Amino acid sequence: MKTDEPSMQLLTALAQRLRSDPQFMAQVLAVYQREEQLDDAALARSLGTAPEMMTRLALCRRPDAHAPDFTEQVRALADYTLIDEARLARVLQRVDQLAEADALPHSFRARLLAGVRTALAALAPARVSWLAGAVCLVFFAVTGVLLWRVYHRTSAPNIAQQRPQPTATLPVPAGQRSPAPNDTTAPHRSEPVASASPPRRVSASRPATVIAKIDLEDYPVLREAGAAGGEGAKAIQLAPARARLLLRLPESSASGWYRMSVVDESGRTVATTRARSVGGQRLSASLDLRGVAEKSYRLRLARAGEAPDDYPLSISRSKMLREK
Amino acid sequence: MTQEADLKELGQALHRRLLTKQDGRVTAEIAEVFLPLLANALHRKFPNLPDPHQAETVAIDSLLRYFAQPEKFDPDKGSLIGYLYLAAYRDLLNLLKHSQKFVELHPRALEHEVSVAVGADNPEAHLLEEASPIVQRALAKVTDPIDRELVALMMDGVRETAAYAAVLGIADSPLREQEKIVKRHKDRLKKMLQREWQRRDHQRR
C-alpha cells in the first residue's frame, strides 16, 4: 500500500513548520514532548494514538483556554483525532501550566527592572554622592558581619559534620531493632535494615516501581488454606516495593473486575487492589508492597461472585526485578 | 456536479469556517484536502525541479500564508485551490528565476491543471477520502460497516448527535439516551483503534 506515504510526509512537514506557532496544537505537542522528553513514537503512545493522528492533531488550532466552550473544543478535537479527551485535556493543561510558570519570572523581572528604573529616575544628581556614601557604608557593614560569622564558624567545634547523614527509611523487619541514635555500640550503617543487598536510596517524591510480568499458567493454583506458599511449589517472586503487575490470566478466564490480594499464612491480607481485565486474558494492577515482610505469601485473585485462586508468592528483596 | 465545482464549494465552506477563528479542526481539514493536491499539481507543472522537495516546500509556504491571512482570499474571484496554486506557482517561478534555470511565460488555466492533477471522475466523498491519508489509514483498521461510518463521521468533525444516532439506528430514542449511546460508541471506537495502534507500534518495535 503506502501510496499515501508522500501525502503523509507532506502533512508531517507542515506540522513540523507549525511547531513554533503558538496558535497551533503542533506547538503544544512540541512543548509537551520537550518537557516530558518523549520522541514522536512515545508521544503518540502517551496519547494512545498513531503517529499519523498526531500529525492531524498538530495541524489543528489550539483551543482557547479562556473560551467559554473550551471543554467542547477539546472534545471536538479529541473526536476528530480519535484521542481520549481526558488525555488530550491533560496535555493542554500541562503545557498551560508550563507557560504560566515561564511567564511568572519574566513578569517579576520586568516589574523589578521597572522599579529600579523608577528609583534611579527619582534620584536627583545632587543626591548621588550621598547615595554612594550610603552604599559604601552598607557594603562595609555586610562584609564585617560575614567575616565575623566565618571566623566564629571555623573556631567552633565541628559538631554538625559528625552527625550521621540522613538516610532513606526502609521498613524494619519484625523482631529486628533499629539502633538508637545514641547507641554508640551499634555499628554505623546507612540503612536500618538488615539486608544482603546494597543500600539503596529511595526518592521520596517518586518511589521506585517494580514491573513484574507474570504468566499465571506457569504457577500452581493453591486450593487448600494454611501454608502460605506451599513447600517446593514454584512461587511468584516479588520485591517489597511498589509493584506494577502485568498478569497473563489462565485460559478461559473471564473479563471483568478482579480483586488481587497478598495474603499471609494466617489468612491476613497485607496488600490489596482492584483491577479490570477487558478481554479476560490480561490484568494489570499496582500493589504497594513496601513495608511487607520478606517471606512466603499467597497472591489471591478473585472475581466478583467466584471462588478465589491462590498462587504461591515469595517476597524477597533479592528478587528485585526491573525498575521503572 | 463536476469535481472542480465540488472542490470549489468545499474550499469556500472551509474558508468560511477558517474566518470564524473558532473552529480548531478546520486548518487540519484544509491541509489534508488541499496540500497533497497542491503539491501534486506543482509536481506535474514542474517535473524537473533541481530540488525535488522544492514543490512541497512552496506548497507548504503557500498554505501557511493562507492560514496567517485568510482574508486575502476572495471566494468570489475563484476557488481556494486556484488561489493557493497561483500563489505557490508564482513563488516557485520566482525561485527558479532567481536561480536562472527556468522561465515560464504562459501560466495555464489553473482550475484545469488542478483537476488533471486530482483525477477525472471521483465523486466528492471519494475525493476527500483519497485526499486524506490520515482518514484512509484509520478507516483501514475498522472492518464493521457501521463502525466505519461512525469513525468517518468523527474524523469529518461531525458533532451532531443526530448524525450518529441515524447510523446507529437509535434516532427514535430520547435525546439524552442517544447522547449516552453515541458517547459510548465513540469511546469504544477510540479504545479499539488505540489497541490497534499499540499492537502495530509493538510489532514495529
Query: Closest Cα to residue B63, out of B26, B18, B89, B31?
Result: B31
Sheet architecture: strand order including A309-315: A236-238, A309-315, A296-303, A256-263, A269-277
**Is A318 exposed, middle or buried, given 0-12, 13-18 or 19+ CB atoms closer than 10 A?**
exposed
Hey, are the CB atoms on A52 and B60 less than 8 Å from each other?
Answer: no
Q: CB count, 10 Å around CB of B64?
A: 15
> How far away is chain B from the Cα of A229, in angstroms, using its nearest Cα?
35
* pLDDT tens string B143-180: 788 888 888 888 877 888 888 888 888 888 899 999 99
Q: Which of A8, A59, A78 sits opposite B28 (nearest CB)?
A: A59
pTM over 0.95: no
Q: Which of B133, B159, B186 sits opposite A7 (nearest CB)?
A: B133
- The nearest alpha carbon in chain A to B138 belongs to A53
Hey, are the CB atoms on B201 and A44 less than 8 Å from each other?
Answer: yes
Q: Where are the beta strands (DSSP E) in chain A?
A: 209-215, 236-238, 242-248, 256-263, 269-277, 282-288, 296-303, 309-315, 322-323
In angstroms, what CA-CA distances link A199 with A182, A248, B129? 22, 33, 60
Mean pLDDT, residues A281-296 taken together: 83
**Domain range annotation of chain A:** 5-101, 104-151, 209-323
Instruction: Tell me the pLDDT band of A122, cut-offs 50, 70 and 90.
Output: low
Instruction: Tell me the pLDDT band of A324, cut-offs 50, 70 and 90.
Output: very low
Correct CATH for A209-323 of 2.30.30.220, 2.102.10.10, 3.30.210.10, 2.60.40.10 = 2.60.40.10
**Residue B184 has what pLDDT?**
92
Hey, are the CB atoms on B186 and A79 less than 8 Å from each other?
Answer: yes
Residues of B with Cβ-Cβ distance to A13 under 8 angstroms: 56-57, 60
Using a CB–CB cutoff of 8 Å, tell me whether B52 touches chain A: no
**Residue A60 has what pLDDT?**
95
Hey, are the CB atoms on A80 and B194 less than 8 Å from each other?
Answer: no
Residues of A with Cβ-Cβ distance to B193 under 8 angstroms: 49-50, 82
Q: CB count, 10 Å around CB of B74?
A: 9
Query: Distance (Å, rounded) from C-alpha B145 to C-alpha B141?
Result: 12
Q: CA torsion angle for B82, B88, B92, B97 (degrees, to 10)?
A: 70
**Residue A118 has what pLDDT?**
63
Mean pLDDT, residues A73-93 taken together: 91
> How far away is chain A from the Cα of B152, in angstroms, using its nearest Cα?
9
Mutate one of A61, A62, A75 to test the B interface: name it (highest B CB count within 10 A): A61
Hey, are the CB atoms on B137 and A61 less than 8 Å from each other?
Answer: no
Instruction: Tell me the pLDDT band of A165, cut-offs 50, 70 and 90.
Output: very low
Instruction: Tell me the pLDDT band of A157, cut-offs 50, 70 and 90.
Output: very low
Q: What is the mean pLDDT of chain B?
A: 80
* pLDDT tens string B5-44: 678 888 999 999 999 888 899 999 999 999 999 998 888 8
Does residue A24 sit in helix, strand or coil?
Answer: strand
Mean pLDDT, residues A294-303 taken together: 89
Hey, are the CB atoms on B36 and A52 less than 8 Å from each other?
Answer: no
Mutate one of B14, B26, B27, B65 to test the A interface: name it (highest A CB count within 10 A): B27
> How far away is chain B from the Cα of A99, in angstroms, using its nearest Cα?
20
Grid cell in block for residue B3 = 469535481
Q: Does the model's ipTM exceed the 0.85 cut?
A: no
Using a CB–CB cutoff of 8 Å, tell me whether B28 touches chain A: yes
Q: Which of A44, A73, A80 sits opposite B155 (nearest CB)?
A: A80
Mutate one of A21, A25, A53, A59 to test the B interface: name it (highest B CB count within 10 A): A59
Residues of A with Cβ-Cβ distance to B35 under 8 angstroms: 7, 10-11, 14
Q: What is the mean pLDDT of chain A?
A: 73
* pLDDT tens string A29-61: 999 999 889 988 889 988 988 888 899 999 999
Residue B118 predicted with pLDDT over 50: no
DSSP assignment letter at A305: T
Burial profile A238-262: b = 16 or more Cβ within 10 angstroms, e = fewer:
bbbbbbebebebbeebeeeebbbbb
Q: CA torsion angle for A87, B167, B122, B133 (degrees, to 10)?
A: 20
Hey, are the CB atoms on A55 and B193 less than 8 Å from each other?
Answer: no
Residues of A with Cβ-Cβ distance to B24 under 8 angstroms: 25, 60-63, 73, 76-77
In this structure, of A111-125, A157-171, A220-234, A242-256, the range with the lowest mean pLDDT score is: A157-171
- Residue count of chain A, please give it: 324
- The nearest alpha carbon in chain A to B189 belongs to A82
- The nearest alpha carbon in chain A to B23 belongs to A61
Grid cell in block for residue A83 = 484521542
* pLDDT tens string A180-226: 434 433 333 333 333 333 333 433 444 466 778 888 988 888 866 55
- The nearest alpha carbon in chain B to A59 belongs to B28
**Residue B57 has what pLDDT?**
93
Where helices occur in A1-66 by DSSP H, the ranges are: 5-17, 25-36, 40-46, 51-58
Residues of A with Cβ-Cβ distance to B187 under 8 angstroms: 84
Q: Which of B24, B131, B187 sits opposite A77 (nearest CB)?
A: B24
Hey, are the CB atoms on B31 and A11 less than 8 Å from each other?
Answer: yes
Instruction: Tell me the pLDDT band of B181, cut-offs 50, 70 and 90.
Output: very high
Mutate one of B62, B134, B188 to test the A interface: name it (highest A CB count within 10 A): B134
* pLDDT tens string B99-113: 754 444 444 445 545
